[in-house]
Amino acid sequence: MQKKINIAILFGGKSAEHEVSVQSAKNVLDVLDRNKYHPILIGIAKSGVWHLTSEDALNTQAAKGGAFKPYDTPIAALTPESRGVLLINGLESPTKIDVVFPVLHGPFGEDGTVQGLLKLAGIPFVGTEALASAVSMDKDVMKRLLRDAGLPIGKFITLKSHESLSFTDAVDKLGTPLFVKPTNMGSSVGVTKVYSEGEFGQALIRAFEYDVKIVLEEYIQGREIECSVLGNEEPLASLPGEVVSSHEFYSYEAKYLDETGARLEIPAKLPPKTVEIIQDMAVKTFKTLCCEGLGRVDFFLKPDGALVVNEINTMPGFTKISMYPKLWGATGLSYSVLIDRLIALAVSRFEKEKRLKTSFF
Ligand SMILES: Nc1ncnc2c1ncn2[C@@H]1O[C@H](COP(=O)(O)OP(=O)(O)O)[C@@H](O)[C@H]1O
Ligand SMILES: [Mg+2]
């Protein structure tokens, strides 16, 4: 029998998307082929501390719907000293990790920080590397790269916490309503749709609670279309899906708290030509941002048929109701085959990079 692959699943994290990550990790664990993989669960508490944890603990916590609460003492750490070694306090022999699946959303997980650490530790990992993770997460840098590649994006202004901007100046450039958001966040945390001067001040305060840099955007009226991308050198796009939100916009509440807050239309009802354009644009966005492995590209489709790229998520949700795996399902790729592919892509990139020289001679 072939040796099982030790796969470390990282979840939780120091992020407002911690709870979503717990649900995603449980889902990945549920579909993992146990004949091939041996999962090692590492829960990252909201404090940022890494804990080795059990499947039972993850399942219980996921069922409760809350944050990861470490109750077991061993603290796990990935160390750069020796490749793929997990040091567990109090245990004699370290466990070798073959590949890591960082099922982490948002800051300190999807933004290149963990990716940098894993690269340094010399361990293959699922998803995009540090650079592309960071630029994809930063809505300001992402937009500038997309604009440079000629991809359609909405008008925006970037504002740093030491700078000021009046409502009148913002409206002059963007109109009303307008959107205010932290640059490095996700799950609509800190996002406000602003109609008035009073709301504007509050929206800036709220966005600056999550980041030292924020973006203000023109409101794009349109359908919200999402497309999954998978691959390294030759990425493929799935059929697009649509999010139909019953709220003012696709807010945190609509995404996670209100069961009737949003409906997913999979696949989206679109003319074949539009599907093709969306798929091409999704792949171009993915490549422009130097992504690898996986990404979900989100668009607005305006009533006149024009498309606007809103953002890319380099570690999209993997919960039971998440768009990324569901779109692949609709395109003919089952959840467990998808996970297999992602792991294979991680290993193939690692092997390719391993061949690179690290010295002049
Ligand atoms: N410029 C915009 N025009 C219209 N709706 C927007 C705009 N920006 C954001 N939204 C709404 O807010 C949601 C969250 O914004 P998004 O940029 O996707 O942030 P996040 O990274 O938190 O998901 C979007 O899904 C959409 O419903
Ligand atoms: Mg979004």
In tens, the pLDDT along 128-182 reads 999 999 999 999 999 999 999 999 999 999 999 999 999 999 999 999 999 999 9
Taking the CA of residue 188 as reference, the ligand 1 atom at the shortest distance is 22
* Given 98, 109, 296, 324, the catalytic residue: 296
Q: Kindly state if the Cβ of 17 falls inside 6 Å of ligand 1.
A: no
Predicted pLDDT at 80 = 45
Provide mean pLDDT across the span 111-122.
Answer: 90
Q: Kindly state if the Cβ of 98 falls inside 6 Å of ligand 1.
A: no
Task: Output the CA 77–ligand 1 centroid distance in Å.
Answer: 35
For residue 250, give the ligand nearest its CA: 1
The yes-or-no answer on residue 276 being catalytic is: no
State whether CATH 3.40.50.20 applies to domain 5-125: yes
The yes-or-no answer on residue 210 being catalytic is: no
Higher pLDDT, 109 or 77: 109
For residue 136, give the ligand nearest its CA: 1
Among the listed residues 174, 293, 180, the one whose alpha carbon sits nearest the alpha carbon of residue 228: 293
Task: Output the CA 301–ligand 2 centroid distance in Å.
Answer: 14
pLDDT at 94 over 70: no
CATH number, span 155-218? 3.30.1490.20
Length of the chain in terms of residues written: 361
322-353 pLDDT, tens per residue?
Answer: 999 999 999 999 998 999 999 999 999 999 98
The yes-or-no answer on residue 248 being catalytic is: no
* Given 37, 252, 256, 324, the catalytic residue: 256
The yes-or-no answer on residue 98 being catalytic is: no
Task: Output the CA 68–ligand 2 centroid distance in Å.
Answer: 23
268-302 pLDDT, tens per residue?
Answer: 999 999 999 999 999 999 999 999 999 999 999 99
97-106 pLDDT, tens per residue?
Answer: 899 999 999 8
Q: Where are the beta strands (DSSP E) in the chain?
A: 5-12, 37-44, 50-53, 76-78, 85-88, 95-96, 99-102, 156-160, 178-182, 192-194, 213-218, 223-231, 236-237, 241-245, 262-265, 293-301, 307-313
Instruction: Please indicate whether the domains covering 5-125 and 145-149+221-352 agree at the CATH topology level.
Output: no
Q: Kindly state if the Cβ of 210 falls inside 6 Å of ligand 1.
A: no
Q: Tell me the CATH number of domain 145-149+221-352, given options 3.30.470.20, 3.40.50.80, 3.50.50.60, 3.40.1440.60.
A: 3.30.470.20
- 51 DSSP β-pair partners: 43, 75
Backbone angles phi, psi at 130, to 5 degrees: -60, -50
25-72 pLDDT, tens per residue?
Answer: 999 999 999 999 999 898 888 888 788 888 888 888 888 887 777 665
Predicted pLDDT at 71 = 60
Rounded to 5°, angle at Cα 164 from 159 and 167: 95
Predicted pLDDT at 195 = 97
Q: Would you list the domain boundaries of the chain?
A: 5-125, 145-149+221-352, 155-218
